[in-house]
Structure 1
Amino acid sequence: MHDRDEYMPGPAAGAEVRKDEEKWTLIVVRELRHPPEKVWQALTDPASLREWAPFDADRSLGSVGPVRLSTVGTPAPQVSDTQVTRAEAPSLLEYCWGDNKLRWTLEPFGIGTRLTLWHNIDRGFIAMGAAGWHICLDVLDRFLADAPIGRIVGGDAMKFGWPRLNAEYARQFGI
């Protein structure tokens, strides 16, 4: 592990919301210094997901079909039997997590990747979701740079600036 205790997320940035009644869409954009193929691997490979994502997967997300996602960091495991609906390596990945649809797009950006996440999420949870993904994507960036600090989700995130980020995103989104 590299400097996990020194990690603290920067200010809330790179996220916006699209509003549609009670179901809102969180859109998070992150520019990563790694090529789309490497980012795709981290988004789809179960061993890679265990390094940064808020859930474990029982198989690769790199192909269409059923998959079981288990939420990490919750008091009781929450398991979702779900579907990967689109998997077009290394540019587009869509699946459901519980009742929420997630779509990831990966675009070449210089020598790296512009990663965009669309996450349909209930209005009451959107700032929390933005804060959570902010930290997960910071951890992903370090994992891709071969400087992993280990997954930071659930209660762990409270020690790493999640409450501040949640408040900042709530202000940005006007909640």
Structure 2
Amino acid sequence: MSEAHEASLTTGGTQGAAIRLERVLPDPPRVVWQALTDRDQLKTWFPCDVIVADGRWEPGAAITFAFGPEPDALTIKGEVLEAREPESLAFTWGEETLRFTLTPHGEGTKLVLVDELRPGVAARNAAGWDSCLEMLAGGARDKDAWQPRFERYTALFAPALGEQEGPPAGMK
């Protein structure tokens, strides 16, 4: 793939498809782990507020993903599947499964995110996770970056997966 941070695609599995994104971050795994599990740090890069039951990332813990403070804002439920500090974290995000793997890479961390998902949302999610991981790596939020990324991933993924869905109503 042409870009260093390009998401890759696999087909099959329980959901029908999975996207894989990788980043090398300058901080060690224990610091990156905090960015993945601390609610305040998650707010700086994750696409919504992440509320873990009792604030404890442990298998079986319920998670609420709130996309806004309004009573009618989109809310998704999930569950922690795995939490092995500072190596791996997995949880459901609605019908999807997100898996983060952290491995030491020099003084920093190699982070791998795998999103197991329905084939029709692969391009949308790859574009979104690209943006999120860019912010996790210290980049600025760029609301204009999603559409070109989505178009690029649609061109890459549609031949294998078929038509790709855009963002949910009211989101982008």
- Give the TM-score, by structure 1 length: 0.77
- Name the structure with the higher helix share: 1
User: How many residues are matched?
Assistant: 153
Percentage identity across paired residues of the two chains: 32
Alignment of 1:1-175 (within 5 A): 13-20=5-12, 23-59=16-52, 60=55, 62-72=57-67, 76-142=72-138, 149=140, 152=141, 159-175=143-159
Deviations 1:69-106 (A, max 9, x none): 22426x94232332111100000101000010111100
Higher relative contact order (CA 8 A, sep 6+): 1
| Aligned-residue offset at 1:56 | 1.4
| Root-mean-square deviation (Å) | 2.4
In structure 1, list runs of 5 or more residues that go unmatched. 1-10, 143-147
Contact 1:127-1:170 within 8 A present in 2 as well: yes
- Give the TM-score, by structure 2 length: 0.78
| Aligned-residue offset at 1:12 | 7.8
More displaced stretch, 61-70 vs 115-124: 61-70
- Amino acid in structure 2 at the alignment position of 1:132: G
Contact 1:26-1:119 within 8 A present in 2 as well: yes
Contact 1:55-1:69 within 8 A present in 2 as well: no
Deviations 1:123-154 (A, max 9, x none): 11101100000000111111xxxxx74xx5xx
Aligned counterparts of 1:95 and 1:40: Cα–Cα separation in 2: 14
In structure 2, list runs of 5 or more residues that go unmatched. 160-172
